[in-house]
């Protein structure tokens, strides 16, 4: 049936003559990642940090305490240094952060794959929870194409309220303003999916084989969250541990060679431990000379991997006695990475295509 019919499943003659034209009958897939600033200058960074750190899912501290800290201290001091960090990894050719470049490539690859599977019935788009492209805008764009069913794919293998849940919050806020809401599915976390684990291990084995040295220790680093979130019932810590355990079992390595940690802590509260930077320092001080680090919780390389892990933690390791250090890339839009995203999308689209 032609997509431009006035209502899906109804012939034009059945509708009133003044009924507006409505496209319908298509299926949309929206890949969603965390976000990236629009530039590395002070004001671009400030806008991005304000949106991110204003989210109550990210910072659960009382607003009475948090707003003065955020607006009078953090948004005054952090945009400059953070902008310089972003500038060191910036995609200057496209004038955008690498997270945006990679997420776009993932969406384009998935679109080509689903077109081969389902023809022109499916539209694939991508958005950022913070920054641009905005989720509200891209959901509306899919609806304008006639997508009355949309699959949201939060690109987080492990569920956390501060990542996966806030994607859903924002999506449903957008739907609250729509007269005709699309049917929505949200793909679940895939932290223990065999396809995901196999992709990680395959990618790591290939990258390790390219190194001019054999690491004594491989450190698996996940993004941290405050310990308080775990105590409130967030499953993130348990899902990270399971991913790490399944990876270690696939490699067949002992726990002292294949370790895990949590990075990117912020503020004075206790976060999930062990901390990545402290672990890297302790490894070097204990006599470990060769190590590699990988971040399986990130579906695309970004500031936290390219700058924090590959630059900051490399410096920590070398400064405390280490000699050889390697950062192993995220799955990104590699064949292994796309195998995971295609698998998740096809599984969750069952019954729709």
In a domain, 22, yes or no: no
Query: In angstroms, rounded to a whole number, what is the distance separating the alpha carbons of residues 56 and 152?
Result: 21
Q: Which residue range forms the structural domain that includes residue 45?
A: 40-89
Q: Is 223 annotated as a binding residue?
A: yes
Task: Give the CA angle between residues 211, 216, 219 to the nearest 5°.
Answer: 85
In a domain, 344, yes or no: no
Residues 199 and 326 in one domain: yes
Annotation-wise, does 304 bind a ligand? yes
Give pLDDT tens digits for 132-141. 999 999 999 9
- Give the list of residues 6+ apart from residue 146 with CB closer than 8 angstroms, or none: 3, 8, 23, 24, 25, 26
| Domain count for the chain | 2
Percent of the chain with pLDDT over 90: 90
Q: Looking at the domain assignment, is residue 85 inside a domain?
A: yes
Confirm whether 48 is domain-assigned.
Answer: yes
- Mind listing the pLDDT tens digit for each residue in 133-185? 999 999 999 999 999 999 999 999 999 999 999 999 999 999 999 999 999 99
Number of other CB atoms surrounding residue 85 within 10 Å: 17
Q: Is the pLDDT of residue 43 over 70?
A: yes
- Parallel, antiparallel or unpaired: strands 147-154 and 26-36: parallel
Amino acid 217: pLDDT: 98
Q: How confident is the model at residue 13 (pLDDT cuts 50, 70, 90)?
A: low
Residue 310, in any domain of the structure? yes
In a domain, 145, yes or no: no
**Does some domain include residue 4?**
no
How far apart CA 211 and CA 66 sit, in angstroms, is 45
Contact 341, 102 (CB under 8 A): no
In a shared domain, residues 85 and 204 = no
Give yes or no for a contact between 331 and 199, defined as CB atoms under 8 angstroms apart: yes
pLDDT reading at 331 higher than 70: yes
User: What is residue 126's three-state secondary structure?
Assistant: strand
Burial class for 156, CB neighbours closer than 10 Å (0-12, 13-18, 19+)? buried
DSSP at 18: T
Q: How does residue 6 score in pLDDT terms, banded at 50, 70 and 90? A: very low
> Rounded mean pLDDT of 311-339?
98
Residue 258 lies in a domain: yes
Closest CA relative to residue 190, chosen from 340, 294, 305: 340
**199-209: per-residue pLDDT in tens?**
999 999 999 99
Confidence of residue 1 (pLDDT cuts 50, 70, 90): very low
CATH assignment of the domain containing 290: 3.40.50.1400
Please determine, for residue 186, whether its predicted confidence score (pLDDT) is greater than 60.
Answer: yes
Task: Quote the pTM value.
Answer: 0.92
Specify the pLDDT at position 102: 98
């Amino acid at each position: 049936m032609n997509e431009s019919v006035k209502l899906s499943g109804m012939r034009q003659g059945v509708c009133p003559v003044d009924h507006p034209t409505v496209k319908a009958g298509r299926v949309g897939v929206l890949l969603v990642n965390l976000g990236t600033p629009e530039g590395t200058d002070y004001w671009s960074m400030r806008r991005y940090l304000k949106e991110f750190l204003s989210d109550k899912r990210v910072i659960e501290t009382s607003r009475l305490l948090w707003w003065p800290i955020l607006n009078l201290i953090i948004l005054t001091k952090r945009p400059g240094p953070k902008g310089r960090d972003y500038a060191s990894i910036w995609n200057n050719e496209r004038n955008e952060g690498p997270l945006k470049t990679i997420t776009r490539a993932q969406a384009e690859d998935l679109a080509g794959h689903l077109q081969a599977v389902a023809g022109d019935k499916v539209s694939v788009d991508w958005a950022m929870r913070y920054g641009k492209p905005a989720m509200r805008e891209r959901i509306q764009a899919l609806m304008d194409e006639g997508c009355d069913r949309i699959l949201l794919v939060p690109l987080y293998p492990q569920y956390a309220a501060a990542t996966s849940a806030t994607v859903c919050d924002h999506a449903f806020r957008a739907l609250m303003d729509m007269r005709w809401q699309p049917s929505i599915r949200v793909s679940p976390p895939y932290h223990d999916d065999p396809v995901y684990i196999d992709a990680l291990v395959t990618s790591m084995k290939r990258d390790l084989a390219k190194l001019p040295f054999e690491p004594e220790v491989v450190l698996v680093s996940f993004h941290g969250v405050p310990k308080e979130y775990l105590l409130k019932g967030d499953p993130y810590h348990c899902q990270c541990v399971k991913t790490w355990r399944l990876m270690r079992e696939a490699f067949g390595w002992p726990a002292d060679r294949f370790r895990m940690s949590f990075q990117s802590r912020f503020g004075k509260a206790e976060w999930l431990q062990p901390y990545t930077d402290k672990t890297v320092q302790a490894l070097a001080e204990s006599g470990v000379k060769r190590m590699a680090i990988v971040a399986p919780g990130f579906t695309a390389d970004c500031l936290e991997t390219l700058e924090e892990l590959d630059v900051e933690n490399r410096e920590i390791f070398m400064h405390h006695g280490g000699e050889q250090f390697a950062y192993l890339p995220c799955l990104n839009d590699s064949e292994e990475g796309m195998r995971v995203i295609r698998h998740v999308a096809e599984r969750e689209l069952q019954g729709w295509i």
